[in-house]
């Protein structure tokens, strides 16, 4: 399991954390969980620019995805749209990743690492039991449910009965994105 490691003399910024991952200490982003969980945003893994900044979804693919979530009311955007974690937590939304090791992209992750992360992610989600799991990218849906499914609410749910939502891809056309994101707004409006 990815366990926090106390930083010796290093100063961490934002939500950076040092954790043990597959037998190695890495610098990553800490999991963020509100007291009462309304939803969880789960990414594939943190991008190096996000870890360097100490904030989730700072890359060219992740930040537009967060703006989509804010647009449908998952959380409010802060004055600085790049640092929205406090608003997410205040809205009852947690943030975590399938794999905690930062990489540039999916091609840098081995299947064994995804499977290792899957076991840890399932444990975390079982503890927090979010009513809605928002998968920012398709890989997380595949890890949770065995198949990635089309964007939107998936036909299968979590073991505790939570809905699993797959976001549209970052390059999906606006006309395809709007109805899918409206589906998430509808699910979140009925607690």
**pLDDT the model gives residue 3:** 60
Residue 5 has pLDDT above 80, yes or no: no
**pLDDT the model gives residue 6:** 55
Within a domain: 23: no
Q: How many structural domains are present in the chain? A: 1
pLDDT, mean over the chain: 92
Within a domain: 79: yes
> How sure is the predictor about 191, in pLDDT bands with cuts at 50, 70 and 90?
low
The C-alpha atoms of residue 77 and residue 74 are separated, in whole angstroms, by 10
**pLDDT the model gives residue 62:** 87
Within a domain: 7: no
Within a domain: 1: no
Domain range holding 60?
31-188
Say what percent of the chain tops pLDDT 70. Answer: 92
15-65: pLDDT as tens digits? 999 999 999 999 999 999 999 999 999 999 999 999 999 999 998 888 889
Say what percent of the chain tops pLDDT 90. Answer: 82
125-168: pLDDT as tens digits? 999 999 999 999 999 999 999 999 999 999 999 999 999 999 99
Within a domain: 154: yes
Identify the CATH number of the domain in which residue 60 sits: 3.40.470.10
**pLDDT the model gives residue 1:** 58
Within a domain: 108: yes
**Of 4, 143, 23, the residue nearest 166 (C-alpha):** 143
Within a domain: 125: yes
Within a domain: 151: yes
* Residues whose CB falls within 8 Å of the CB of residue 70, separated by 6 or more in sequence, listed in order: 76, 77, 81, 84
């Amino acid at each position: 399991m990815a366990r926090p490691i106390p930083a010796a003399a290093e100063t961490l910024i934002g939500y950076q954390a040092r954790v043990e991952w597959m037998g190695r200490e890495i610098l990553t982003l800490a999991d963020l969980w509100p007291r009462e969980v309304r939803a969880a945003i789960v990414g594939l893994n943190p991008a190096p620019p996000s870890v360097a900044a100490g904030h989730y979804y700072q890359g060219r693919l992740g930040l537009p995805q967060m703006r989509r979530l804010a647009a449908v009311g998952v959380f409010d955007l802060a004055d600085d749209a790049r640092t929205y974690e406090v608003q997410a937590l205040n809205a009852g939304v947690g943030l975590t990743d399938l794999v905690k090791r930062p990489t540039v992209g999916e091609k840098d992750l081995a299947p064994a690492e995804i499977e290792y992360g899957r076991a840890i992610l399932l444990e975390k989600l079982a503890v927090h039991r979010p009513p809605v799991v928002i998968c920012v990218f398709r890989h997380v849906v595949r890890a949770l449910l065995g198949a990635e499914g089309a964007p939107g609410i998936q036909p299968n749910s979590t073991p505790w009965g939570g809905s699993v939502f797959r976001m549209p891809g970052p390059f999906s056309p606006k006309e395809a994105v709007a109805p899918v994101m409206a589906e998430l707004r509808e699910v979140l409006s009925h607690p």
